[in-house]
């Protein structure tokens, strides 16, 4: 049977859909943000929300990388100063204008970042393992991969390794103290 003018044949529709799925499978979608002029990224599926930084209530006696807590629509969320946590050397400019809400260890946690710039699709072949020197360096285990696009380099963070067991225990204790 002959296809009518302007209507693609069924075989070509199937081919287009298959190609589209292959293109998506060969790419990762990342939330790109900056800290002190460097670009970092997270898997978009790990991100729940992006908010402008509200008033953060400090928690006396908490680790220095925990900035405090916020109340987001009735939920208490621990806020982590990502610069302090991943040892970024602050250059003195305004700290943290946005918070990325993520889930770590079954808890919602806010990560303070300078700014979120985009949601980017990155080809799988542009994503590389971090240099061995970073993989073996203590305190750098939170680096999952590095994305390289033309003259751009993004450090992809591994949220499952961002907080160690003791730090996650602190986050859980804070949540439990607020009945969350």
| Residue 143 near residue 137 (C-beta atoms within 8 A) | no
pLDDT tier for residue 102 given thresholds of 50, 70 and 90: very high
Query: How many domains does the chain divide into?
Result: 1
**Residue 75 counted as domain residue:** yes
How, if at all, do strands 143-149 and 152-157 pair? Answer: antiparallel
Residue span of the structural domain in which 114 resides: 28-177
Of the listed ranges 76-85, 97-106, 128-137, the least confidently predicted one is 128-137
Range 84-105 average pLDDT: 79
Is residue 90 in a domain? yes
Residue 20 lies in a domain: no
Q: Strand, helix or coil at 6?
A: coil
Is the pLDDT at 133 greater than 90? The verdict is no
Has residue 118 been placed in a domain? yes
Of 69, 70, 98, 72, the closest CA to residue 83 belongs to: 98
Query: Which CATH number characterizes residue 59's domain?
Result: 2.40.50.180
pLDDT score of 14 more than 50: no
């Amino acid at each position: 049977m002959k296809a009518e003018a302007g209507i693609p044949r069924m075989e070509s529709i199937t081919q287009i859909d298959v190609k589209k799925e292959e293109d998506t499978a060969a790419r990762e979608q990342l939330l790109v943000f900056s800290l002190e002029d460097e670009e970092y990224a997270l898997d978009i599926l790990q991100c729940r929300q992006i908010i402008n930084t509200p008033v953060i209530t400090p928690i006396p006696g908490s680790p220095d990388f925990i900035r405090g807590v916020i109340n987001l629509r009735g939920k208490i969320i621990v806020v982590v100063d990502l610069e302090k946590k991943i040892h970024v050397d602050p250059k003195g400019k305004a700290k943290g204008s946005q918070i990325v809400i993520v889930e770590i260890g079954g808890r919602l946690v806010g990560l303070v970042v300078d700014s979120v710039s985009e949601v980017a699709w990155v080809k799988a072949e542009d994503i590389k393992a971090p240099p061995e020197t970073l993989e073996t360096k203590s305190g750098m285990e939170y680096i999952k991969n590095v994305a390289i696009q033309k003259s751009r380099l993004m450090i992809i963070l591994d949220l499952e390794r961002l907080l160690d067991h003791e730090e996650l225990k602190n986050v859980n204790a804070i949540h439990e103290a607020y009945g969350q």
